[in-house]
Structure 1
Amino acid sequence: MDLEVNNSLTIPASELRWRFSRSSGPGGQHVNTSDSRVELSWDVTGSPSLREDQRESLGRRLEGRLTGGVLTVAASERRSQLRNREAAAARLVHLVAEALAPGPAARRKTSPTRGSTRRRLAGKKLRSATKQQRRRPSAE
């Protein structure tokens, strides 16, 4: 099953590597024999379905998650292997979509408005007057 990340990227099923193992945690006799934990791996650096700019963006934004250029996602929350496969696929799609999304717009510097400056200075004068009144009278 191909994974559709967004309009410009669909990861073919042939590029995905699935690995199954026994899930940790409590369970009954059935748990000891079923391989319900799922690991989904995708080679980002060697993927022919990526454009060069997409590959660069993924490499930069996911550098902490990549191991040798391969992105790996694990899922073991569910009891059934099928549900864990769906969870791992959804997690991979979410990670890749987040990494390919454009960043926030650069903040433009602005100067404070006349009103905000006036309010700030009025507040300072008020605090100053309050503190002046708290002082002991001078002995002059």
Structure 2
Amino acid sequence: MDPRVLKQIRETRTASEKDVVEGIGRALVEVAGGTLTVREAKDGLSGVLRRAREGVPQVIGSTEDAAVVISVKDLVTLLGAAKEQTLGEALDEVGFTPYRGARIVIGVGRNRETLKRRGKAVPPPSA
């Protein structure tokens, strides 16, 4: 499936139904290279199916009430793109709430021994 269509699906997941229909419809028509009339699709059905199997969606009819022919493989890809979550949605789903309390002060770490070099390591230059 063309990345432009997948991008449009991801961007319109939270939009209104009208915006989704318009956005995805425009993207599909752009990828398909235009729309086909019902007669063109009927007369060239084998070509329509071949192009759909090659990953090029075929849009038949007017853009407002169009029918789309895609392969099952592309349908699975589209459904996967539609269900991907953003980080914010994933955090909301698990009930994450940001900390709203007072400032947290973290003290200086404790002193530790310097790391020991093993093998034939070159000692650090002395100042």
Measured against the shorter chain, the TM-score band is under 0.3
Higher strand share: 1
Higher helix share: 2
TM score, norm. by length of structure 2:
0.27
